[in-house]
């Protein structure tokens, strides 16, 4: 299998997603579309079996600052139209919502959801079966999105109602960071000196032994998505 992985920011790498792809012996092309001098994104889904779009600190609506967002939206719809699984994580989920006509905005409370967060399954979704009905997962965001028309919401948290949805033929968006590792979470914390001390201490603690619970849940969801990739119809000249 051959995956296209869009890395929207260097400090939001593929993490556990890359590990799980490598464990299957699959190939993943990681591209950073917003880095200076980087070649354009592929024009189509040709040659790929699936697409993953990762996170970043950008505002998902900032097309003037990040003109290649338009290409990401186009690719998400193109892969889905071809029946090839699409995974959006954090910013990637927000872009997925945009690709299907929904609005992305700051959370109404002005809050910032950080660290390990208890989630709640709100609808049937096979990708969550191995993770359980109340998975503990990593969050790091201040934005949210409206649910696109035709989407099914399957995951929520107390602070952010729209944590996971599916739409189209084969698209899944996760506002939470199923790919995060404690090292990634620690780096985000280092780059955020403005966080209040009490919250910082809580997130530091989250990077410890407790993170193993979130790691298992995230890996289970990723593996379930990769299983969907492996079950897609054989290529027909793509």
**Domain regions of the chain by residue span:** 2-231
For residue 235, name the pLDDT band (cuts at 50, 70, 90).
Answer: very low
Contact 129, 113 (CB under 8 A): no
For residue 159, name the pLDDT band (cuts at 50, 70, 90).
Answer: very high
pLDDT over 90 percentage in the chain: 82
pLDDT tens digits for range 205-219: 888 888 999 999 999
pLDDT value at position 31? 95
pLDDT tens digits for range 42-65: 999 999 999 999 999 999 999 999
Give the pLDDT mean for 96-104: 98
For the sheet containing 27-31, what is the strand order? 27-31, 2-6, 50-53, 86-89, 171-174, 164-167, 152-157, 113-121, 136-141
Of all helices (H) and strands (E), which one includes residue 226?
helix 211-231
Helix, strand, or coil here: 81? helix
For residue 132, name the pLDDT band (cuts at 50, 70, 90).
Answer: very high
Give the pLDDT mean for 123-152: 96
Question: According to CATH, what is the number of the domain 2-231?
Answer: 3.40.50.880
Question: d(Cα 33, Cα 41) in Å, to the nearest integer?
Answer: 7
pLDDT value at position 111? 87
- Does 38 have pLDDT greater than 60? yes
This prediction has a pTM of 0.94
pLDDT value at position 200? 84
pLDDT tens digits for range 79-88: 999 999 999 9
Question: d(Cα 70, Cα 58) in Å, to the nearest integer?
Answer: 14
Average pLDDT, the chain: 93
Contact 157, 139 (CB under 8 A): yes
pLDDT over 70 percentage in the chain: 97
């Amino acid at each position: 299998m051959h995956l296209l992985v869009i890395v929207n920011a260097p400090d939001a790498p593929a993490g556990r997603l890359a590990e799980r792809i490598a464990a299957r012996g699959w190939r993943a092309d990681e591209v950073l579309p917003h880095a200076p001098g980087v070649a354009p994104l592929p024009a189509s889904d040709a040659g790929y079996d699936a697409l993953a779009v990762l996170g970043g600190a950008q505002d998902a609506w900032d097309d003037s600052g990040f003109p290649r967002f338009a290409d990401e939206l186009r690719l998400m719809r193109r892969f889905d139209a071809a029946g090839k699984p699409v995974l959006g994580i954090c910013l990637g989920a927000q872009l997925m919502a945009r690709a299907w006509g929904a609005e992305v905005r700051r959370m109404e409370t002005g809050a910032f959801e950080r660290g390990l967060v208890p989630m709640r399954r709100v609808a049937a979704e096979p990708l969550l079966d191995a993770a359980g009905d109340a998975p503990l997962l990593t969050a790091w965001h201040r934005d949210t999105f409206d649910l696109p028309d035709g989407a099914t919401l399957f995951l929520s948290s107390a602070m952010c109602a729209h944590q996971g949805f599916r739409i189209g033929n084969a698209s899944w968006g996760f506002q939470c960071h199923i790919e995060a590792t404690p090292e990634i979470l620690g780096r985000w914390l280092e780059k955020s000196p403005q966080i209040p001390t009490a919250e910082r201490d809580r997130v530091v603690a989250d990077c410890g032994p407790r993170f193993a619970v979130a790691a298992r849940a995230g890996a289970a969801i990723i593996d379930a998505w990769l299983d969907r990739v492996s079950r897609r119809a054989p290529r027909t000249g793509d």
